Amino acid sequence: MALQGPKSRTILERLTDEKNIPRKYYSFQENVMVAGINCLVSKTGYTGEEGYEFYCGPEDAPKLWDALMKEEELIPCGLGARDTLRLEAAMPLYGHEMDDTITPLEAGLGFAVKFDKEEFIGKKALLSKGVTRGRVGLTITGRGIARENCPIYRNGEQIGITTSGTHCPYLGKPVAMALVNIEFIQIGTQVEVEIRGKKVAAEVVSLPFYKR
């Protein structure tokens, strides 16, 4: 279970001792009693907000859920809401912005590739392929909501495809992430996205769409 949002730490401090709460992103602590339930608590989440994830025994999950739901600030939500949040934060998701046909360099994850290492699996392939496309953000300026796998056009020529897209309630507008040919990744580039057979105006914008 995940506890995410700007009040997540304040709420968690009511359910466990402050010393049990990990402070560094992507760190965790084991054998933490949260509302009397033994958990592994990690400072992780894919929402773009501060947050924590709890791992406990299956038999304890309903009790942990009930304890969290007693906190009146909390609103229960599922993976659909999580996906909207991670899109606003421009967090790439495997099967969308990442898969075995998309290189880390194309996905905007070059920081995780250390070319100064003498050798690693895939180094030669990455260097030989180069970067011919890149991940960008799109704001839909016309009428329509782009989803994944919508073709993207510039002057009538297809230049890419959307990888994720929806109407973002916090931003109040439809946005999408996409892979486009490298010569069209500049901020402000005007393009068209084919949505249900109709080409709709869109603009390349900087990522992330939202940053806390």
The CATH number of the domain holding residue 177 is: 2.40.30.110
- Tell me the pLDDT tens digit for each residue of 32-72: 999 999 999 999 999 999 999 999 999 999 999 999 999 99
- Tell me the pLDDT tens digit for each residue of 145-162: 999 999 999 999 999 999
Q: Report the alpha-carbon distance of residue 57 to residue 211 in Å, rounded.
A: 34
Q: Which of 50, 76, 102 is the last residue of a domain?
A: 76
In whole angstroms, what separates CA 147 from the centre of its chain? 15
Query: For the chain, what is the domain count?
Result: 2
- Residue 71 per-residue DSSP state: S
Are 42 and 147 in the same domain?
Answer: no
Q: Which of 19, 45, 76 is the last residue of a domain?
A: 76
83 inside domain: no
As given in the structure block, the two tokens for residue 8 are 């997540």
Domain interval for residue 195: 91-205
Q: What is the pTM of this model?
A: 0.89
pLDDT at 7: 96
Q: How does strand 133-140 pair with strand 173-181? A: antiparallel
The CATH number of the domain holding residue 16 is: 3.30.1360.120
Are 34 and 133 in the same domain?
Answer: no
pLDDT at 201: 98
Are 37 and 125 in the same domain?
Answer: no
Are 63 and 96 in the same domain?
Answer: no
Q: Report the alpha-carbon distance of residue 179 to residue 32 in Å, rounded.
A: 42
Query: What stretches of the chain adopt beta strand conformation (E)?
Result: 2-4, 28-34, 37-42, 51-55, 133-140, 151-154, 157-168, 173-181, 190-195, 198-205
Note whether 39 and 30 are within 8 A (CB). no
pLDDT-based confidence at residue 212 (cuts at 50, 70, 90): confident
Are 72 and 144 in the same domain?
Answer: no
Q: Of 85, 87, 88, 68, which Cα lies nearest the Cα of 76?
A: 68
Are 64 and 17 in the same domain?
Answer: yes
85 inside domain: no
